[in-house]
Amino acid sequence: MYKVGIDLGSSYTKGVLVDSSNQIIDYHLVKTGFDFNRSSKRIIDKFSENFKIDLPIYTCGYGREKLEVESVSNSEIMALAEAVYHLYNKKCSVIDIGGQDTKYIKINEIGKVDKFRMNRKCAAGTGSFLEEIAFRLDVSATEFNSFAEQATETIKINSFCTVFAVSEIVGMIKNGLTMPNIVLGIYNSILDRSFELANIDDSLILTGGIPDYHPIILKLIQKKIPNAVSPEKSQFMAAYGSVLLNTKRVN
Amino acid sequence: MKEKIYTIGIDVGSSLIKASLIEYSANPVILDKRTEKIRKRNPEVVADQVMDSILETHNLTFEDIAYVATTGEGELLKRKKGHFYSMTTHARGGIFMNEGAKTVVDMGALYVRAIKINELGRVLNYKMTGQCASGSGQFVENISKYLGVAIEDVGETSLKATNPEKPSGICSVLAETDVINMVSRGITTPDIIKGIHLSIADKIIKLLTSLKAESPIALTGGMAINHGMVQAIEELAHKANLNYQFVTHQDAIFAGSYGAAIWGGYRYLKLKSDNAIVL
């Protein structure tokens, strides 16, 4: 029997399929769009093609209470902390860079959440920042990563606000600055916002959609914090954690 | 016969160029006013074209113009004689259109500025939004685009609201998702737009109270001709028991351009009289 965890985020809905020994068997990702039921149904249907799924579904995230299917909902912070502790089994700090928010979670020695902070009122420092800029410049956000790899120097983006940053960047392009250097500046701006959330120590674990698609962000962080790590498929951590929270509770 | 003094004011904004031709005197007369979208072109080229077309319409040559004044982002235009800061031009333009105003609120595409002025239109004090686009015209424009409402119709649409729904955050970028959510929850377009207007009005009222603004307050800039926006500001001021009287003018979007042209005329005469003394 297999369990499904679904993280209903504001931009994407993430699903994981977990076996009885709590190992992830499969991942599936769909755009959230306007209907949480539709996006989660697509995930459940996809997994049901090959596997027999146990109800309830374990959910977390922004849209977790809107499902029609039988489900148990969890806080995404608890879920994220659970998954990270399950994988690393140590006291650590987590930075989760998602589509519309950036979270900082401090986990203690026994896996409990000690501290939590998030940025939720502003797109600066989140995936939306990248997406909006990519949209305005008419490049795909995934191209950004390879751009930044070619950067020769760092440019500082002075604007805090995404809307203003776009105007600033358009001006930079006009003044002949190259895309790779500008894009590196964009990534650094996201990092600055993350590091404003808390004093981050050596035990940093980076999660969320951004490190998955923009691996350069981990490399940039490692310049400051050499021991920082990011789990594979870090976008699915909260979905995984919501299954773990409940199976462990039962056991 | 006294020589006529023609001046041109060019206000270069983030998306729109506003230009005007005036006959300068103690009572300046507006002879022409134009707006032109920049649309990814070089603002300098666009401004030059607008200026040429104004001159042609009035059978004037560039030499007939006593002073070409720029404001906003127009500092780089080569044919200008002088550049004035937006704060001073909006103050002057605001009081020109709304006699007796003691405060001017310029609601532009990127910033909102609240400016306290004296009876001559000089700036006494000001407060502006920084860092964040949440109170700006761009915000309204983005949302209207998502909702498929033409920017000219946003004001009228807002007036039809019955139960306005404010976005949960203030960020212009994140509001996009919020609006998608509202649409899926069945909130009507007027209610969404009114909610956005209220959230901007909230910021403006905060600026005004921290400035200790005095009434009457002239609203200028692109958003001042949006009735829905003005009504939202009035509503919130009333709710906060602030005894503000708001005035606006159909040419509100030209405040910067008029102000620049008027200051240009003033400076032209001043330079002339200074030179006379030297000679």
Q: Cα(B224)–Cα(B247) distance, rounded to whole angstroms?
A: 9
Domain assignments of chain A as residue spans, ordered by start: 3-73, 89-234
B76 shares contact with chain A (CB less than 8 Å): no
**Mean pLDDT of the residues in chain B:** 90
| B14 in A contact zone (CB under 8 Å) | yes
Which pLDDT value is given to residue A249? 56
Percent of chain A residues past pLDDT 70, beyond the cut: 98
Residue B2 pLDDT grade (very low, low, confident, very high; cuts 50, 70, 90): low
Closest chain B residue by Cα to residue A137: B40
A3-73 and A89-234: identical CATH topology: yes
Which of B85, B109, B121, B113 has the alpha carbon at shortest distance from B14? Answer: B109
CATH superfamily of B100-248: ATPase, nucleotide binding domain (3.30.420.40)
CB hemisphere CA count around B91 (13 angstroms): 22
pLDDT score at B66: 95
pLDDT band at B142 (very low <50, low <70, confident <90, very high): confident
A128 touches chain B (CB under 8 A): yes
Domain(s) labelled CATH 3.30.420.40 in chain B stretch across 5-90+254-278, 100-248
> Is B177 part of the contact surface with chain A (CB cutoff 8 Å)?
yes
Q: At the fourth CATH level, which superfamily is domain A3-73?
A: ATPase, nucleotide binding domain (3.30.420.40)
Region A213-230 average pLDDT: 91
Q: Does the CB of A167 have a partner CB in chain B at under 8 Å? A: yes
Name the average pLDDT for chain A: 89
Amino acid at A14: K
Interchain CB distance below 8 Å, A122 and B171: yes
Question: Does B180 contact A11 at a Cβ distance shorter than 8 Å?
Answer: no
CA nearest B122: which of B75, B90, B168?
Answer: B90
Name every residue whose Cβ is closer than 8 Å to that of residue B182 and which is 6 or more positions away in sequence: B165, B167, B191, B192, B195
Answer whether A128 sits within 8 Å of B174, measured CB to CB. yes
Q: Which residues of A touch B132 (CB under 8 A)?
A: 122, 160-161
More confident: A237 or B39: A237
- Per-residue pLDDT, A251: 45
Kindly report, residue by residue over A25-68, the tens digit of the pLDDT. 999 999 887 788 889 999 999 999 999 998 899 999 877 777 78
Contact B183, B175 (CB under 8 A): no
Whether A115 contacts A198, CB under 8 Å: yes
Do B191 and B263 contact (CB within 8 A), yes or no?
Answer: no
Nearest CB to B133: which of A100, A128, A163? A163
Which homologous superfamily is B5-90+254-278 in?
ATPase, nucleotide binding domain (3.30.420.40)
Residue with tokens 């499904």, as numbered in its chain? A4
Q: Among A92-96, A131-135, B231-235, B240-244, which is the least confidently predicted range? A: A131-135
Residue A21 has pLDDT above 60, yes or no: yes
**Average pLDDT over every residue of A143-153:** 90
pLDDT of residue B245: 95
Q: CB of A135 within 8 Å of any CB in chain B?
A: no
Tell me the backbone φ, ψ of residue A224, rounded to 5 degrees: -95, -40
Lowest mean pLDDT among A227-236, B37-46, B169-178: B169-178
Taking an 8 Å cut-off on Cβ atoms, the answer to whether B138 and A163 are in contact is: yes
- Local confidence band at B278 (pLDDT 50, 70, 90 cut-offs): low
- List the single range of A86-95, A133-142, B22-31, B212-221 with lowest mean pLDDT: A133-142
In this predicted structure, what is the pLDDT of residue B3? 79
Cross-chain Cβ contact B133/A162 below 8 Å: yes
Domain A89-234 has CATH 3.30.420.40: yes
pTM more than 0.90: no
* Interface contact A164-B110, CB threshold 8 A: yes
Do residues A37 and A68 lie in contact, with contact meaning Cβ atoms separated by under 8 Å? yes
Helix, strand, coil distribution of chain A in percent, nearest 5: 45, 20, 35
Q: Which of A100, A160, A167 sits opposite B174 (nearest CB)?
A: A100
